[in-house]
Amino acid sequence: MSDATFACKKSHSEPGPGDAGKTGSWRVLRPIINVNLCIPAKTNKMACFNCWLYCPDGVVTRTIPPTINYEYCKGCEICAEECPVAAIQMVEETKLIKKEK
Ligand code: SF4
Ligand code: SF4
């Protein structure tokens, strides 16, 4: 099987509205990526991406740096637990909302 054929058959999910709508409104804790610690952001290499791989909602991009779609991120904290360098901090939404006002 050629690489091109394999690429077409890879599973790939995109965040989008399901039966529950924009699930980001459920979030109590918001994951924030520290680009000074994140491996691909620091090295400019397509490395790690555990956050992308393990996010159950497919809301993390496999880009440099990785980004999170907060419209659908439920704040489950799996990305933070799977990050090998503790680059993802979970911050209380209430504190962030106060700062953003
Ligand atoms: S798991 Fe951590 S180090 Fe790896 S890409 Fe995600 S934020 Fe960066
Ligand atoms: S907190 Fe959960 S849903 Fe949000 S980006 Fe991390 S793993 Fe995905």
Report mean pLDDT in 10-residue bins for the chain, 101 residues.
54 69 91 98 97 94 96 96 98 86 72
29 CB less than 6 Å from ligand 2?
A: no
Backbone angles phi, psi at 93, to 5 degrees: -55, -40
Report the pLDDT value the prediction gives residue 20, as an integer from 0 to 100.
75
Domains along the chain with CATH numbers: 27-100 (3.30.70.20)
Q: How many residues does the chain have?
A: 101
Cα→Cα distances 70→9, 24, 101, Å: 28, 6, 17
30 CB less than 6 Å from ligand 2?
A: no
Tokens (6 digits) for 13:
């999910």
Shortest-distance atom of ligand 1 to CA 66? 5
What sign results for the dihedral spanned by CA atoms 55, 58, 64, 70? negative
* Helical residues (DSSP H) of the chain, grouped into ranges: 3-9, 39-43, 50-54, 78-82, 93-100
